[in-house]
Amino acid sequence: MTLNRRDFVTTTIGLAASLAAPMVMAAGKPRVVVIGGGAGGATAARHLAEASKGALDVTLVEPTRKYYTCFFSNLYLGGFQEFAALGHTYGKLAADFGVNVVHDWAVGIDRDAKTVSLAGGGTLPYDRLILSPGIDFVDGAVPGWDITAQNAMPHAYKAGSQTQLLKAQIEAMPAGGVYAMIAPPNPFRCPPGPYERISMVAHRLKQINPTAKILIVDPKEKFSKQALFEDGWMRHYGGMVERVGPDFGAANTSVDPAAMTVDIDGEVTKVDVCNVIPAQKAGRICETAGITDGNWVPVNPHTMQARADENIHVLGDASAQGDMPKSGFSANSQAKVAVMAVRGALTDSRVFPAKYSNTCWSLLGTDDGVKVGAAYEATDEKIASVESFISQTGEDAALRKQTYEESLGWYAGITADMFG
Amino acid sequence: MLKRRKRSILAGSALLAWAAFAPAVMAERIGDAERGAEIYRKCAACHMVGAQAKNRIGPHLNGIFGRKAAALDGFRYSDAMRRAGADGLIWELDKLDAYLENPKALVTGTRMSFAGIRSLDDRHDVLAYLRTFSDKPRDIPEASPTAVAHEVALAPEVLAMAGDRDYGEYLSSECLTCHRKDGSDRGIPAITGWRNEDFVVAMHAYRQKLRPHPVMQMMAGRLSDEEIAALAAYFAALE
The larger pLDDT score, comparing residue A265 to residue B6, is at A265
Query: Rounded to whole angstroms, how far apart are CA atoms A96 and A420?
Result: 8
Helix axes A193-208, A226-237, angle to 10 degrees: 0
Say yes or no: A267 and A294 in one domain. no
- Kindly report the nearest CA distance between residue A31 and chain B, in angstroms: 21
Average pLDDT of chain B is 83
Say yes or no: A166 and A274 in one domain. yes
The pLDDT confidence band at residue B155, using thresholds 50, 70 and 90, is confident
Say yes or no: B79 and B24 in one domain. yes
Say yes or no: A169 and A271 in one domain. yes
The pLDDT confidence band at residue B30, using thresholds 50, 70 and 90, is confident
* pLDDT attached to residue A253: 97
Strand A383-390 relative to strand A368-378, pairing: antiparallel
Q: Would B147 be classed as within a structural domain?
A: no
Give A35-89 pLDDT, tens digit per residue: 999 999 999 999 999 999 999 999 999 999 999 999 999 999 999 999 999 999 9
A109-113, A288-292, B137-141, B220-224: which range is least confident on average?
B137-141
Say yes or no: B129 and B11 in one domain. yes
* pLDDT attached to residue A17: 41
* pLDDT attached to residue A25: 43
Say yes or no: A324 and A287 in one domain. yes
| Mean pLDDT, residues B228-237 taken together | 92
Whether residue B19 has pLDDT greater than 90 = no
Q: Mark which of A321, A351, A381 sits at the end of a domain.
A: A351
* pLDDT attached to residue B106: 92
Query: Rounded to whole angstroms, how far apart are CA atoms B133 and B138?
Result: 11
What number of residues does chain B have? 239
Q: Mark which of A319, A351, A383 sits at the end of a domain.
A: A351
User: Is residue A399 within 8 Å of residue A263, measured between CB atoms?
Assistant: no
Whether residue B162 has pLDDT greater than 60 = yes
Query: Rounded to whole angstroms, how far apart are CA atoms A330 and A187?
Result: 14
Give the amino acid at B20.
A
- Kindly report the nearest CA distance between residue B136 and chain A, in angstroms: 25
Q: Of B86, B166, B174, which is closest to A402 when you measure between CB atoms?
A: B86
Say yes or no: A293 and A341 in one domain. yes
Say yes or no: A10 and A102 in one domain. yes
Say yes or no: B108 and B41 in one domain. yes
Q: Mark which of B107, B139, B171 sits at the end of a domain.
A: B139
Q: Would A387 be classed as within a structural domain?
A: no
Q: Would A100 be classed as within a structural domain?
A: yes
User: Is residue A32 within 8 Å of residue A127, measured between CB atoms?
Assistant: yes
Say yes or no: A170 and A265 in one domain. yes
Q: Would B149 be classed as within a structural domain?
A: no
Q: Would B145 be classed as within a structural domain?
A: no
Q: Would B210 be classed as within a structural domain?
A: yes
Q: Would B70 be classed as within a structural domain?
A: yes
Query: Rounded to whole angstroms, how far apart are CA atoms B236 and B194?
Result: 6
Task: Give chain A's domain count.
Answer: 2
CB pair distance less than 8 Å for A352 and B85? no
Q: Mark which of B139, B169, B204 sits at the end of a domain.
A: B139
Query: Rounded to whole angstroms, how far apart are CA atoms B62 and A323?
Result: 48
Say yes or no: B43 and B110 in one domain. yes
Q: Would A362 be classed as within a structural domain?
A: no
Over chain B, what HEC string results?
CHHHHHHHHHHHHHCCCCCCCHHHHHHHCCCCHHHHHHHCHHHHCCECCCCCCCECCCCCCCCCCCCECCCCCCCCCCHHHHHHHHHCCECCHHHHHHHHHCHHHHCCCCCCCCCCCCCHHHHHHHHHHHHCCCCCHHHCCCCCCCCCCCCCCCCHHHHHCCCCHHHHHHHHHHHCCCCCCCCCCCCCCCCCCCCHHHHHHHHHHHHCCCCCCHHHHHHHHCCCHHHHHHHHHHHHHCC
Chain A contact present for B182, CB below 8 A? yes
Whether residue B207 has pLDDT greater than 70 = yes
Say yes or no: B134 and B193 in one domain. no
User: Is residue B11 within 8 Å of residue B31, measured between CB atoms?
Assistant: no
Q: Mark which of A351, A374, A405 sits at the end of a domain.
A: A351
What is the pLDDT tens value at each position of chain A, 420 positions in all? 444 444 444 444 444 444 443 444 445 899 999 999 999 999 999 999 999 999 999 999 999 999 999 999 999 999 999 999 999 999 999 999 999 999 999 999 999 999 999 999 999 999 999 999 999 999 999 999 999 999 999 999 999 999 999 999 999 999 999 999 999 999 999 999 999 999 999 999 999 999 999 999 999 999 999 999 999 999 999 989 999 999 999 999 999 999 999 999 999 999 999 999 999 999 999 999 999 999 999 999 999 999 999 999 999 999 999 999 999 999 999 999 999 999 999 998 999 999 999 999 999 999 999 999 999 999 999 999 999 999 999 999 999 999 999 999 999 999 999 999
Say yes or no: B113 and B181 in one domain. no
Give B68-87 pLDDT, tens digit per residue: 999 999 999 999 999 999 99
The larger pLDDT score, comparing residue A168 to residue B29, is at A168
The CATH number linked to A216 is 3.50.50.60
Query: Rounded to whole angstroms, how far apart are CA atoms B53 and B59?
Result: 9
Q: Of B85, B177, B215, which is closest to A414 when you measure between CB atoms?
A: B177
Query: Rounded to whole angstroms, how far apart are CA atoms A164 and A145?
Result: 20
CB pair distance less than 8 Å for B182 and A408? no
A1-5, A46-50, B138-142, B226-230: which range is least confident on average?
A1-5
- Chain A residues whose beta carbon lies within 8 Å of the beta carbon of residue B176: 413, 417
What whole-number percentage of chain B has pLDDT above 70? Answer: 81
Say yes or no: A13 and A56 in one domain. yes
- The domain in which residue A84 lies consists of 5-136+281-351
Say yes or no: A67 and A182 in one domain. no
Chain A contact present for B180, CB below 8 A? yes
Over chain A, what HEC string results?
CCCCHHHHHHHHHHHHHHCCCCCCCCCCCCEEEEECCCCCHHHHHHHHHHHHCCCCEEEEECCCCEEECCCCHHHHHHCCCCHHHHEEECHHHHHHHCCEEECCCEEEEECCCCEEEECCCCEEECCEEEECCCEEECCCCCCCCCHHHCCCCCCCCCCCHHHHHHHHHHHCCCCCCEEEEECCCCCCCCCCHHHHHHHHHHHHHHHHCCCCEEEEECCCCCCCCHHHHHHHHHHHHCCCEEEECHHHCCCCEEEECCCCEEEECCEEEECCEEEECCCEEECHHHHHHCCCECCEEEECCCCCEECCEEEEEECHHHEECECCCCCHHHHHHHHHHHHHHHHHHHCCCCCCCCEEEEEEEEEEECCEEEEEEEEEEECCCCEEEEEEEECCCCCCHHHHHHHHHHHHHHHHHHHHHHHC
Q: Would A366 be classed as within a structural domain?
A: no
A340, β-bridge pairs: none
* pLDDT attached to residue B13: 41
Say yes or no: B130 and B214 in one domain. no
Q: How many CB pairs under 8 A join A and B?
A: 88
Give the amino acid at A54.
G
Complex ipTM = 0.82
Q: Of B167, B177, B179, which is closest to A333 when you measure between CB atoms?
A: B177
Q: Of A350, A386, A406, which is closest to B222 when you measure between CB atoms?
A: A386
CB pair distance less than 8 Å for A355 and B221? no
Q: Would B148 be classed as within a structural domain?
A: no
The CATH number linked to B63 is 1.10.760.10
* pLDDT attached to residue A147: 96
| Mean pLDDT, residues B165-180 taken together | 93
Residue A118 — φ and ψ, nearest 5°? Answer: -110, 150
Q: Of A398, A402, A417, which is closest to B177 when you measure between CB atoms?
A: A417
CB pair distance less than 8 Å for B170 and A340? yes
Nearest CA among A403, A418, A327 for reference residue A87? A418
Query: Rounded to whole angstroms, how far apart are CA atoms A390 and B213?
Result: 12
Say yes or no: A130 and A103 in one domain. yes
Chain B contact present for A355, CB below 8 A? yes
Q: Would A337 be classed as within a structural domain?
A: yes
- Chain A residues whose beta carbon lies within 8 Å of the beta carbon of residue B190: none
Sheet holding A106-110, edge to edge: A106-110, A115-118, A123-125
* pLDDT attached to residue B151: 61
Give the dihedral of Cα atoms A162, A167, A171, A175; nearest 10 deg.
80
Q: Mark which of B139, B165, B194 sits at the end of a domain.
A: B139
Chain B contact present for A162, CB below 8 A? no
Say yes or no: A217 and A166 in one domain. yes
Q: Would A183 be classed as within a structural domain?
A: yes
Nearest CA among A183, A172, A161, A171 for reference residue A262? A183
The larger pLDDT score, comparing residue A230 to residue B2, is at A230
User: Is residue B72 within 8 Å of residue B60, measured between CB atoms?
Assistant: yes
Q: Would B144 be classed as within a structural domain?
A: no
Say yes or no: B173 and B99 in one domain. no
CB pair distance less than 8 Å for A399 and B87? yes
CB pair distance less than 8 Å for B188 and A413? yes
Say yes or no: B186 and B85 in one domain. no
Q: Would B150 be classed as within a structural domain?
A: no
Task: Give chain B's domain count.
Answer: 2
- Chain B residues whose beta carbon lies within 8 Å of the beta carbon of residue A405: 187
Over B189-227, what HEC string results?
CCCCCCCHHHHHHHHHHHHCCCCCCHHHHHHHHCCCHHH
For the range A26-29, what are the long-range contacts, defined as Cβ-Cβ under 8 Å and sequence gap of 24 or more?
Answer: A27/A125, A28/A57, A29/A54, A29/A55, A29/A56, A29/A57
What number of residues does chain A have? 420
Query: Rounded to whole angstroms, how far apart are CA atoms A73 and A166?
Result: 11
Query: Rounded to whole angstroms, how far apart are CA atoms A399 and A385?
Result: 25
- Chain A residues whose beta carbon lies within 8 Å of the beta carbon of residue B85: 398
User: Is residue A95 within 8 Å of residue A77, measured between CB atoms?
Assistant: no
| Mean pLDDT, residues B120-131 taken together | 93
Q: Would A35 be classed as within a structural domain?
A: yes
Say yes or no: B172 and B113 in one domain. no
Say yes or no: B125 and B188 in one domain. no
User: Is residue A219 within 8 Å of residue A183, measured between CB atoms?
Assistant: yes
Chain B contact present for A336, CB below 8 A? yes
The larger pLDDT score, comparing residue B81 to residue B237, is at B81
Q: Would A229 be classed as within a structural domain?
A: yes
Say yes or no: B121 and B167 in one domain. no
- The domain in which residue B87 lies consists of 2-139
Strand A213-217 relative to strand A241-244, pairing: parallel
The pLDDT confidence band at residue B238, using thresholds 50, 70 and 90, is confident
Say yes or no: A116 and A202 in one domain. no
